[in-house]
């Protein structure tokens, strides 16, 4: 985004107000950004921030939908990287309203577009939110009978039970090395072969270092075997 755009400057000021705990000032700045938007691109940016300051789930949904609609109208490279976040926000809004099947559809769309976001913490955040959303809505998808439960994946790694047990142990004793190496790949797991490779590689790094107690070393070996990339 061009930092010199008046709408962007207002939104940056609004984020600063948020960080300082001045919610009312932030809302006003985002409202000014919306009122001053000159085209669909600028309106898309402003709507994203207005959605964060709604007092009802319905209001949050309305502004997130507005944001997506405006991005669709822009339809060029300027908004391409927005889509994973746009779909995540709609998925979360529908999940908050208890409409889990619809929420699932948006989390699936977000997973399909996650590669459009630039690499870095922004994409990591999207991955974590998508994976969480897919896990939270898996039961609704399984009960729908429409096949969405397997597209693009369940976002729950094979051997997840073993891994959660290991994470709990590492948290309890503060093994930050093991957690730091493996949690990003686990939390961002979307069920693709690439995700399996990423997770298995992270687990292998810990396993190869052999600093874990013997029992955990054996459990980690089982988890690595469970997340092996399936043969086509």
Position with higher pLDDT, 37 vs 2: 37
pLDDT for position 227: 85
Q: Residue 199: enclosing H or E segment and its boundaries?
A: helix 193-209
Token pair 């810990």: residue: 206
Q: Give the pLDDT band (50/70/90) at residue 20.
A: very high
How much of the chain exceeds pLDDT 70, in percent? 91
Distance CA 40, CA 67 (A): 9
Asked if 206 contacts 149 with a C-beta cutoff of 8 angstroms, the reply is no
Is residue 158's pLDDT more than 90? Answer: no
Q: Give the pLDDT band (50/70/90) at residue 68.
A: very high
pTM of the predicted protein model: 0.82
pLDDT averaged over every residue in the chain: 89
pLDDT for position 156: 67
Distance CA 182, CA 176 (A): 10
pLDDT for position 2: 79
Position with higher pLDDT, 116 vs 32: 32
pLDDT for position 125: 87
How far lies 156's CA from each of 2, 18, 76, 178, in Å? 38, 34, 33, 20
For 88-138, how does the pLDDT look when each residue is reduced to its tens digit (9 = 90+)? 999 999 999 999 999 999 999 999 998 888 777 888 888 999 999 998 898
- Mean pLDDT, to the nearest integer, of 144-168? 66
Distance CA 31, CA 26 (A): 9
Most confident of 4-8, 58-62, 193-197: 58-62
- Mean pLDDT, to the nearest integer, of 179-186? 94
Helix (H, G, I), strand (E, B) or coil at 99: coil
DSSP summary character for residue 22 = -
Token pair 């309203």: residue: 97
Position with higher pLDDT, 194 vs 92: 92
Is residue 161's pLDDT more than 90? Answer: no
End-to-end CA distance of the chain: 41
For 137-152, how does the pLDDT look when each residue is reduced to its tens digit (9 = 90+)? 987 666 555 444 334 4
């Amino acid at each position: 985004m061009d930092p010199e755009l008046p709408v962007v400057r207002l939104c940056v000021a609004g984020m600063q107000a948020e960080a300082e705990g001045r919610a009312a000032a932030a809302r006003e700045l985002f409202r000014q950004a919306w009122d001053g938007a000159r085209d669909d691109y600028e309106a898309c940016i402003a709507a994203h921030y207005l959605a964060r300051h709604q007092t009802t789930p319905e209001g949050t949904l309305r502004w997130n939908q507005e944001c997506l609609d405006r991005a669709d109208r822009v339809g060029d490279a300027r908004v391409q990287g927005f889509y994973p976040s746009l779909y995540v926000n709609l998925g979360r809004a529908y999940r908050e309203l208890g409409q889990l099947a619809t929420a699932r559809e948006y989390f699936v769309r977000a997973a399909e577009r996650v590669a459009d976001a630039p690499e870095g913490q922004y994409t990591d955040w999207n991955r974590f939110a998508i994976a969480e959303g897919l896990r939270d809505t898996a039961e609704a998808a399984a009960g729908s009978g429409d096949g969405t439960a397997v597209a693009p994946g369940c976002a729950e790694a094979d051997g997840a039970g073993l891994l959660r047990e290991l994470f709990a142990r590492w948290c309890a004793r503060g093994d930050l090395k093991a957690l730091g190496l493996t949690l990003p790949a686990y939390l961002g797991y979307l069920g693709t072969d690439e995700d399996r490779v990423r997770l298995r590689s992270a687990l292998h790094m810990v396993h190869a270092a052999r600093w874990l107690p013997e029992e955990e070393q054996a459990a980690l070996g089982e988890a690595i075997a469970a997340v092996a990339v399936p043969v086509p």
